[in-house]
Structure 1
Amino acid sequence: MLIDGFGRTVDYLRVSVTERCNFRCQYCMPEKPFSWVPKENLLSYEDLFKFIKVSIDEGIKKVRITGGEPLLREGLDIFIKMVFDYKNDIDLALTTNGFLLAKAAQKLKDAGLKRINISLDSLDSSTVAKMAQKDVLSNVLEGIKAADEVGLKIKINCVPLKGINDKDIIEVLEFCRAKGYVVRFIEFMENHHAKDGVKGLNSDELKAIISKKYPNFKMIPRDTSSPAQYYEFEDGYQFGIIEPHKDDFCAACNRIRLTSEGYLIPCLYFEDAMSIKDAVQNNRIDEAVEILKKVLQNKPEKNKWSTTGDNETSSRAFYQTGG
């Protein structure tokens, strides 16, 4: 069992397999040139698997594959199958922008993937093009459809921005409700890599928009380890809001992150990280475990976003850590 410095059990590993992305979303990396980290700087799938395997042995129960955009890295289904074959009851998930998903969905499902989170910020093609700085909506919708058809459990992620896609919140909600997908609206997380002037909607603003059409939804008891607060309609449909500017979910945070270059990051915001790259590449697995435990001891009690007026802007690039 993995325990951090505040007594929290850590059983969820998020693994970024690439920092490359084929979108340039305004809230993430709008100005970054299309480039890539040299292949020799990345941990191979085999080395990533060495660490995942020992992490599972130490108590990790959930592995989520992220990026950048993870489907840009070739052979992802083979990597997922490596993890599945080692422990087939592991909660194995993927986060993607969906652009390349239509052709990959069946292979991912066959490899052992169970769940998938897909970004969908609007159902208006011009709005999505403005958000992603690329005409992507038709591909994303095809990807969602393909994932559904092969039997992957789907969640939709939506980041509402003021003056851009805030008008589309109800439409996205109703699309997901009709399809039976859970949608989670994510408050924009301030970071130095986002487009200047971008402003997100907070939880109260989101709920006010939704309540104009659906006034009778109710808050449901929270799964304390989840970053999302969920709400339920009268017909039982549930949607979530992720509120990083609150820290109530930090008390039960069960996550740790591994980047494609081998850095272990104890918190999405937190700047400190330690590398396991040399240890796993040279098969010093015990050393990698000790680094993992040291990082867990450095895991902060709370994130640094806040609603008290003293919130900070992170210099962490989310495309490196998978959000």
Structure 2
Amino acid sequence: MLIDSYGRTVDYLRVSVTERCNFRCQYCMPEKPFSWVPKENLLSFEELFEFIKVSIDEGIKKIRITGGEPLLREDLDTFIKMIYDYKNDIDLAMTTNAFLLKGSAKKLYDAGLRRLNVSIDSLKPEIAEAIAKKDVLPNVLAGIEEALRVGFKVKVNMVPMKGMNEGEVLDVLEYCKDRGMVVRFIEYMENVHAEVDIKGMQSPELLSIIGSRYRYEDEGFDGHSPSHYYKLEDGYEFGIIEPHKDDFCTKCNRIRLTAEGNLIPCLYFDEAMSIRDAVRRGDIKEAALVLKEVIRTKPEKNRWSEGDTEQSNRAFYETGG
């Protein structure tokens, strides 16, 4: 079991398989050129898997595959099957923008993946294109429909922004509600890589919009999830992720591994330790020691406090958010 210095059990590993992304979303990486880290700098799937096995043996129970956009990495289904075959009761999920999902959903499902998180920031093609800087909506919606058809459990994430997509909060909620998908509204996380003029929306504003049409009850937090959940009268649940509040961190149970082998204890903090050299020389005991040290030094909370204007230097496209 992995327990940090604040008594939190850490059993959730997010694994970024690439920093590459085919979108240039305004709140993430709008000005980054379409380039990529040299292949030799990335851990192979076999190397990532060696560390994942150690992590599972030490107490990791949930693994989420992220990017960048994970579907840009070839043979991803093979990697997922490695994990599934090693421990077929692992909670295995993936976050994707769904642009390439239609053609890969069946392979991913057959490999053992069962849950997906997908971003929908707008249901209007022109707004979706303005946010992602690419005509993305038809592919995204087609990918979601295929994932549902195949049998995936799908959650949807939306980042509401003033002057951009704030008028679609109810539209996205109802799109998800009609398809049995949970939607989570994510408060914009300030970072130096985003557009400078973005103004996110806070939970009171979002609840006011939803409350204009629906009555809801506060359901609180669901286990270790960072999402604060609410239930409509018909039983449909939606969530809001509020990184600016301390309770976002109180039950944090996750660490992150980048495609280059950097193990990160907190999404906000820039500190990290590398497991790449240890894994590449086959020193799994050393990699396990790095894992335990990262857990030990995991900070109590991030620096996004309410009213704080500090921004993170962390590139979310390297860590998968």
TM-score range, shorter chain: over 0.9
Deviations 1:197-230 (A, max 9, x none): 111001111111111111x101113224110000
CA distance in 1, matches of 2:295, 2:152: 31
Deviations 1:37-70 (A, max 9, x none): 0000000000000000110000000000000000
2:291 is equivalent to residue 278 of structure 1: no
Identity, % of aligned positions: 67
Hey, what does 1:174 align to over in structure 2?
Answer: 174
Alignment of 1:20-99 (within 5 A): 20-99=20-99
2:287 is equivalent to residue 313 of structure 1: no
Q: Does structure 2 conserve the Cα–Cα contact (< 8 Å) formed by 1:225 and 1:249?
A: no
Hey, what does 1:287 align to over in structure 2?
Answer: 286
Hey, what does 2:120 align to over in structure 1?
Answer: 120
The amino acid of 1:312's aligned partner reads E
CA distance in 2, matches of 1:207, 1:153: 25
Aligned residues: 321
CA distance in 1, matches of 2:308, 2:136: 36
CA distance in 2, matches of 1:257, 1:286: 19
Flag structure 2 segments of 5+ consecutive residues without an equivalent. none
CA distance in 2, matches of 1:38, 1:222: 40
CA distance in 1, matches of 2:243, 2:65: 21
Q: Does structure 2 conserve the Cα–Cα contact (< 8 Å) formed by 1:129 and 1:137?
A: yes
Hey, what does 1:258 align to over in structure 2?
Answer: 257
Deviations 1:228-280 (A, max 9, x none): 00000000000000000011131211000000000000000011100000001
CA distance in 1, matches of 2:93, 2:105: 12
CA distance in 1, matches of 2:90, 2:126: 39
Aligned residue for 1:6, secondary structure, equals coil
CA distance in 2, matches of 1:310, 1:177: 34
Aligned residue for 1:103, secondary structure, equals coil
CA distance in 1, matches of 2:270, 2:78: 31
CA distance in 2, matches of 1:110, 1:209: 40
Hey, what does 1:296 align to over in structure 2?
Answer: 295
The amino acid of 1:61's aligned partner reads K
TM-score, normalised via structure 2 length: 0.99
Aligned residue for 2:220, secondary structure, equals coil
What is the deviation of 1:310?
A: 2.9
State the 4+ residue runs in structure 1 displaced beyond 3 angstroms.
none
Flag structure 1 segments of 5+ consecutive residues without an equivalent. none
Q: Does structure 2 conserve the Cα–Cα contact (< 8 Å) formed by 1:122 and 1:128?
A: yes
The amino acid of 1:316's aligned partner reads R
The amino acid of 1:175's aligned partner reads Y
The amino acid of 1:194's aligned partner reads A
What is the deviation of 1:311?
A: 4.3
Deviations 1:4-46 (A, max 9, x none): 1111100000000000000000000000000000000000000
Q: CA RMSD in A?
A: 0.7
Hey, what does 2:12 align to over in structure 1?
Answer: 12
